[in-house]
Homo-oligomer: A and B are copies of this chain.
Amino acid sequence: MKVTALAGGIGGARFLRGVKAALPDADVTVIGNTGDDIILHRLNISPDLDTVMYTLGGGISAERGWGREDETFTVQSELAEYGVGPAWFGLGDRDLATHLVRTEMLAAGFPLSDVTAALCQRWQPGVRLIPMTDDRVETHVVIEDAEGRRAIHFQEWWLRLRAQVPALAIVSVGAAEAKPAPGVLDALAEADVVLLPPSNPVVSIGSILAVPGIRDAVRETKAPVVGVSPIIGGSPVRGMADACLMAIGVETSAGGVGAHYGARRLPDGSPGTGLLDGWLVDLVDADVTIPGVRVAAVPLLMTDLAATVEIVRAALELAGV
């Protein structure tokens, strides 16, 4: 079975661990978000790709959910001794090697998709991990504070400001000119099932869908498309998705996000404008209805691998595969 999933960082990666466990023989392709990529100290950093790679490859910090296990932060402390920041971005020593290899390969002319494949040679994540695009796309957030109205990098908003300053707009800079990375559209077209994990609907899944061609490919695939709600009972399972949803005028609820993704087909069988055939919500959100979308409710907290496997199985069942 061919499974294609869109994925952001921690939530997506944990869900994918469940996919691998539920379907050990499946051919899984992950289309990873690169909108939160950032260049710091001239290093090309791809946090979401790395989170997926480390999580599935056995290198992730179990406690933090991002970055490497047994990590140290010597380089970052030394940078601080030189007065060089930012302090709000956790730059681990082990992680830094990944950034150095990526940066060097990109500078040598390899596209990010090739670089990611090369890094995965080490990590053997057991999935094919493809960045959404080889072009540079950066999610910026428009804020307004004492310094006036301005756009800052998503990571600065997310990590430094903890998303506490309202986002007036969230913009995928470069997305309009970006092309899907090689393999992305085929993976969607040839899938037996397409999954939208409980990643951030705006800055993770939304960022991937902002690359021209990807949204259409999801809508046009012959495979069923099932999403898993990142919202349980009106709150994000983790992270600060509510601050992102507010910026795009979507209610922070399982029903709100489901409706935002929308139905591929209307109840009468005619084409809809959305993405979903199925929408998996938590038991507390069992009353959610989205016209044209099959909704099922199960416990959605990914408390451990077994619980995550159950969620994946419910999503596959909803997909009818």
Whether the Cβ atoms of B119 and A82 lie closer than 8 Å is yes
Tell me if A159 is interfacial: C-beta within 8 Å of chain B: no
Known: A42-B103, A103-B42. A97 touches B78 (CB 8 A): yes
Q: Within 8 Å CB of A94, what residues of B?
A: 74-75, 78
A117 at the interface (CB under 8 A from B): no
In this assembly, does A221 line the interface, its C-beta being within 8 Å of a C-beta of chain B?
no
Binary contact track A15-43/B, C-beta < 8 Å → 1, others 0: 00000000000000000000000000111
Q: A93: CB under 8 A from chain B?
A: yes
Chain B residues, CB < 8 A from A84: 97, 100-101, 104
Which B residues touch A41, using CB under 8 A?
A: 100-101, 103-104
Is A246 part of the binding interface, using a Cβ–Cβ cutoff of 8 Å?
no
Q: Check B42 against A81 for contact (C-beta < 8 Å).
A: no
Residues of B within 8 A of A107 (CB): 42
Instruction: Give per-residue flags for A97-126: 1 if the beta carbon is below 8 A from chain B beta carbons, else 0.
Output: 110110110010000000000010010000
Q: Are B74 and A104 in contact, CB atoms less than 8 angstroms apart? A: no
CA distance A105 to B62 in the complex (A): 35
The answer, yes or no, to whether A79 is at the interface (CB within 8 Å) is yes
B82 touches A122 (CB 8 A): yes
The reply to whether B81 and A97 form a contact with Cβ atoms under 8 Å apart is: yes
Q: How many copies does the complex hold?
A: 2
Task: Please indicate the chain B residues that have their CB under 8 angstroms from the CB of A79 in the complex.
Answer: 97, 100-101
Q: What residues of chain B lie closer than 8 Å to A103, measured between beta carbons? A: 41-42
**Which of A72, A97, A103 has the most B CB atoms < 10 Å from its CB?**
A97
Q: Which of A77, A101, A119 gathers the greatest number of chain B CB atoms within 10 Å?
A: A101
B75 touching A101 by the CB < 8 A rule? no
Nearest Cβ distance between residue A41 and chain B, in whole angstroms? 5
Closest 3 CB pairs of A and B: A78-B97, A74-B93, A41-B100
Task: Give A residues with C-beta under 8 Å from B.
Answer: 41-43, 72, 74-79, 81-84, 93-94, 96-98, 100-101, 103-104, 107, 119, 122
A-B contact sample (15 more), CB < 8 A, given A72-B74, A74-B94:
A41-B100, A41-B104, A74-B93, A74-B97, A75-B75, A75-B93, A75-B100, A76-B97, A77-B97, A78-B93, A79-B101, A82-B101, A82-B122, A84-B101, A84-B104
Can you list 22 A-B contacts with CB-CB less than 8 angstroms, sorted by A residue number?
A41-B100, A41-B101, A41-B103, A41-B104, A42-B42, A42-B107, A43-B100, A72-B72, A72-B93, A74-B74, A74-B93, A74-B94, A75-B75, A75-B93, A75-B94, A75-B96, A76-B97, A81-B122, A82-B101, A84-B97, A84-B101, A93-B93
